[in-house]
Amino acid sequence: MNELPQETTDRIRELCAEAYEAYDHGKYREALRLFYQGWVLLPKPQTDFPEAGWLLTGIGDSYFSLKQYIPGCEALRSANHCPQTRDNPFIHLRLGQCLYHMGEKTSARTHLHKAFQIGGRNLFQREKEDYLRSIADLIPAE
């Protein structure tokens, strides 16, 4: 795992905070712009840095909220390969949701089930019931 200079990490944290502020107010395009501003601060290969995982997760989440599932999927798949974000339940959740809307039901179920296994039922509380229902046969009875 590579490390960035502290000032670069600090700037990326600031941009992420601004992006999530915009996201929380439904300004998904503005959030994307801010996440991408952070992305260009990363040297190549970007996915060697933990900060890339933060940014790609935000990018994927923003694309999901904009119903742009293909770029959302691409960002979230990449985020899942970054240090410190591998097997993050939220990434699997959003990736599964993007795949679900793209009609890729088998892959969607794989990621949604993984999200459930790692993050539990609480991870799905604010999501449409369709996602949890799509993996109901994979979830042990309580």
- Examine the fold and report which residue of 49, 68, 85 is the final residue of a domain before the chain moves on: 85
Considering the domain architecture, whether residues 81 and 91 belong to the same structural domain is answered as no
CB 85 within 8 A of CB 59: no
Considering the domain architecture, whether residues 32 and 67 belong to the same structural domain is answered as yes
Tell me the pLDDT band of 1, cut-offs 50, 70 and 90.
low
C-alpha–C-alpha distance, residues 80 and 95, integer Å? 9
Considering the domain architecture, whether residues 54 and 97 belong to the same structural domain is answered as no
pLDDT digits (tens, 9 = 90+) for 112-134: 999 999 999 999 999 999 999 99
C-alpha–C-alpha distance, residues 105 and 114, integer Å? 14
Give the residue from 69, 62, 51 showing the smallest Cα distance to 23. Answer: 62
* Domain span holding position 71: 1-85
CB 62 within 8 A of CB 28: yes
Considering the domain architecture, whether residues 67 and 57 belong to the same structural domain is answered as yes
Give the residue from 81, 92, 85 showing the smallest Cα distance to 123. Answer: 92
Considering the domain architecture, whether residues 78 and 100 belong to the same structural domain is answered as no
How many domains does the chain divide into? 2
- Examine the fold and report which residue of 44, 70, 85 is the final residue of a domain before the chain moves on: 85
